[in-house]
Each structure stands twice: as C-alpha cells, then as structure tokens.
Amino acid sequence: MAAPEGRQGRARDAKLARDAILDAAEAVFAEHGFDGARSEAIAHVSGYNISLLFRYFGDKLGLYGEVLKRADRELDALLAHGLAPLLADGTFSSHAHGFRTFLETLVQTLFDYLIEHPRFLRLLTWEMAEGWQTYAQIVSHLPTRNVEQSEPFFAKLWSAGFLRSDFSPLIQLTLVFQICQSYLAFLPLYQLLLPGEDVSSAGALARGRDYLVALIVQGMVGGS
C-alpha cells in the first residue's frame, strides 16, 4: 500500500534537509577542517536550524562521519559501474592483460572522482595534516568490505604472478588512491613552479592521469 501523500511529502522534505545539511557540512569541513568547522556555520550554510542538524546526525562528529560515508557510497557505485564489464567477464583475475585493464580502470576512476569532488580531496588533505585523528574516532563505523575483500583477491593475483610484490594489499590499494590524491593536491604548487603552463586544464589533467596510470600499473604488475 502506498504511503499517504503527507507521509511521502515529509519523507521527501526530510531527505532534502539531510542532503542540504550534508552538502553544507562537506563545504565547511573542507574549508576549515574538522576542528575549525562550527556547527552553527554548517546550519547557516544549509539554511536549516541547528537543532535539525543534531536531530538527524547527533553531533558534529556524527555529521562528519555521514559526509565520509556518503563519499564512500558514491565512489563504490562509480567503481562498480566502471569495473562491472571486467567483473562480469570473470577473466580479469586469471589473465595478466585483464588485470592490467582492471587496474588502469581503477586508477582512472579514482583520479576522475577526486577531480569532480574537490571538497572531498580537501577533507582528506586536512586528515593527513592532522594525523588522521578525527578519522580514528569514526573508522569503526565506516564500511570495511573493500579491506576484507582485498586480502584474498591480492593473494590470488600474487600466486598467479600478476603482482610484483606480496606487500600488504591494503597498503597497495591505499597507495593507488594516495598517488592520485597527492598529484591533485599539489596542482597549485606545480602551477607556481611552472608559471608558463596551465597544469589544471582538461588536457593537462588528462595527461597527468595517463602518466599516473602508467606509473602505478608498471610499478604493481609483475613482468611489466
């Protein structure tokens, strides 16, 4: 039975409010970091009363965790879509060429996501600068499925001779992300060092992405 229109309307309004608060929180956290962000500022930017913020998310830390969870869901969906053809084929983990294609697609997807989500990139940079102290308080509430799945996946690839090293799968996967993150976070510095070039143009970013793809694949794939 369909919910009454009044109930549907309230649910829709609640979702709009939650999304607006999450958008505002992401912007304020990205600008000021977790410690520098103020709940009052988030409420003001969102256009909603601060009491609603606390009703939906509990406190500032709970709100911060939801911002990261949303980014995790978005990235997971993007990766699932981009890697779906390879996963459906089923041969990417049994043939070197298939694994190379898988890894290339992974790097490209992560790089593009960070370009399209600069506020998330700034959040990660704040976390690095502060020693991941805030992340440590919420990590137990974040999804761990990718971490759990990486161990047997990388063990299979190592046994097949596709990987150069049996170094920690988690660190290898995290380094893929870190390399993309560091490249993009350093763009303002590159611009200072190369004043005659536009390092942030679409063409320059595409060339940078291609370079990182080659760097990571050559560094990780055995026999390259």
What pLDDT is stored for residue 80 in this prediction? 81
Domain ranges of the chain: 1-58, 72-220
The residue ranking higher by pLDDT, 181 or 13, is 181
What pLDDT is stored for residue 157 in this prediction? 80
Domain 1-58 has CATH 1.10.10.60: yes
Whether residue 96 is predicted with pLDDT greater than 60 in this model: the reply is yes
- pLDDT category, 138, cuts 50, 70, 90? very high
What pLDDT is stored for residue 155 in this prediction? 80
What pLDDT is stored for residue 2 in this prediction? 46
Whether residue 4 is predicted with pLDDT greater than 60 in this model: the reply is no
- Same CATH topology for 1-58 and 72-220: the answer is no
- pLDDT category, 154, cuts 50, 70, 90? confident
Whether residue 134 is predicted with pLDDT greater than 70 in this model: the reply is yes
Q: Are 78 and 39 in contact (CB under 8 A)?
A: no
What pLDDT is stored for residue 92 in this prediction? 62
pLDDT tens for each residue of 28-58 = 999 999 999 999 999 999 999 999 999 999 9
What integer is the mean pLDDT of 103-129?
Answer: 94
72-220 folds as Tetracycline Repressor; domain 2 (1.10.357)
**Pick from 211, 156, 134, 150: which is nearest to 180 by CA?**
211
CA-CA-CA-CA torsion for 119, 121, 122, 127, nearest 10 degrees? 130
pLDDT tens for each residue of 64-78 = 999 999 999 998 888
Mean pLDDT score of the chain, rounded to an integer? 88
| Helices 118-129 and 60-89, axial angle in degrees (round to 10) | 120
What pLDDT is stored for residue 224 in this prediction? 46
